[in-house]
Amino acid sequence: MINQIKKVVIPVYLVLFAFCVDAYAFPIFLPSPVLQNEQDSVSVDVELVNFLAGDGLLSKLDVYVKILYDNVQFVKVKKDTFLAQYNVEVTAKSRKDDSSESRKFSDFIAIESLDEVNSVKKFNLNKVSFDLQSGEYDVLITVQDKETLFRSEFNREITLKDFSKPVVQISNILFLDGIQKKEDTGNYIFTPRVSNEQSDDFRILAYFEIYNVTQDDSFRVKYQVLGQQDTVWYEHEYFSAGEGRVTQNFIDVVGENLPHGNYKLKVFMESGGKEFNAEKGFNWYLQGLPVEFRSVEEAIHVLKYLATKKEYKRLQKLSTGEKHHEFLVFWKKHDPTPLTSENELRDEYYARVVFANANYHSLSKGGWQTDRGWAYIMLGKPDNIQRNPYNMDFRTRRLGKTIKAIQIWDYYTYNRQLVFYDDNGFGQYRLENPETLYEILKN
């Protein structure tokens, strides 16, 4: 829980304006961003998956290494060309006999636009494959940036299945970014999603293989998306004919109703009266959506103080799928540093909403909807709060009213005070001088 918004060392404030002429939209006052220290490592995503090897006897280990453009150092080599280079080494070591195999390679990323240098969406994807005996393995992945010499190491564990016997089996599950079928050969080309974080859209694509179901036989597949305590959020099943040694399977889950959280995809396959299963965990997260919000609708609902009245109504009327896209467009428009991967305004705004909900809620309203929540979201943490609960001196402040408690928020930067009254003693504070807050926001 956030107890307070951190202040910066230099007391300079950025005022990020959002159409002050509209009743819904006022500037939100944010502290200046603090520059982060550069990392001395290369941040990458790594994925390990086990399939049947091409010879039909060994077990294949595929190691995917995903490197974001934002995590390597680019150097200008020509007028319109920027180059980043890196080394990768992958070692698979058997726990059974300590034998090991290694692969080393170098790769580069060449771009022509400076805007791509700090992209957190574009990446290079490398794949390393080993044909190994079944068993338990430790896998060490090392990545080094050639320019900065920053180096990162990742240790992973995996158990490779024994696929050598001609019996029905199921492979590991691999999440995908996309699938494409080649018209000339009928083969599938797919792009792995090398991260257990599902985002950007409402689809969960996955691939797995079923072995040794002949063309004369069939199998049944049931797959589920399970949440906490194995709650079933999605379930589907299908029947299919076998294709011999290897039968490819692709599944597509529409996850627009999934709230943020940790899940697992569990696949059950039944053939010849026997059942086999595979599962893989993932984090369901929509890009730009704070983890404290369960849906895009919730995140849009609290934009009332920042969006214009026209923007706010339009966002609320969109379909669920459209809302996510337009949510991203909205925050791209309201990004004080568009060339970086961070959106300081978005992060600070939602952090304040979360704090307000936790600390300023009333019996009938969420914290962000109360007067104190409104003031906190728009101005941030007050420099000082004077609290006088049950102080009889304040009964005379309003004729005919008994004031149970009062809070006075001091904002030294604006040389103003906000006064909140609690008339009934239930913590439902009301802003007594809203004109002061409007005056601060309009100036």
Domain-ending residue, one of 130, 149, 164: 164
pLDDT value at residue 51: 97
Count how many domains the chain has: 3
φ and ψ at residue 264, rounded to 5 degrees: -140, 145
158 and 48 within one domain: yes
User: At 186, which CATH number?
Assistant: 2.60.40.3880
Please choose, from the candidates 42, 46, 41, 78, the residue with its C-alpha nearest in 3D space to the C-alpha of residue 61: 46
- For residue 7, the 8-state DSSP code is P
Indicate the range of 10-14, 139-143, 193-197, 261-265 predicted with least confidence: 10-14
Per the structure block, which two tokens stand in for 145? 């940036």
67 and 82 within one domain: yes
Domain limits at 418?
382-443
Given a contact cutoff of 8 angstroms between Cβ atoms, the answer to whether 367 and 390 are in contact is no
Q: How confident is the model at residue 39 (pLDDT cuts 50, 70, 90)?
A: low
143 and 226 within one domain: no
- pLDDT of 56 higher than 80: yes
Buried b (16+ CB within 10 A) or exposed e, 89-102: ebbbbbeeeeeeee
Domain-ending residue, one of 222, 253, 285: 285
Domain-ending residue, one of 164, 199, 232: 164
User: Which of helix, strand or coil describes residue 370?
Assistant: coil
411-437, pLDDT tens digit by residue?
Answer: 999 999 999 998 887 888 999 999 999
204 and 102 within one domain: no
184 and 200 within one domain: yes
165-178, pLDDT tens digit by residue?
Answer: 999 999 999 999 88
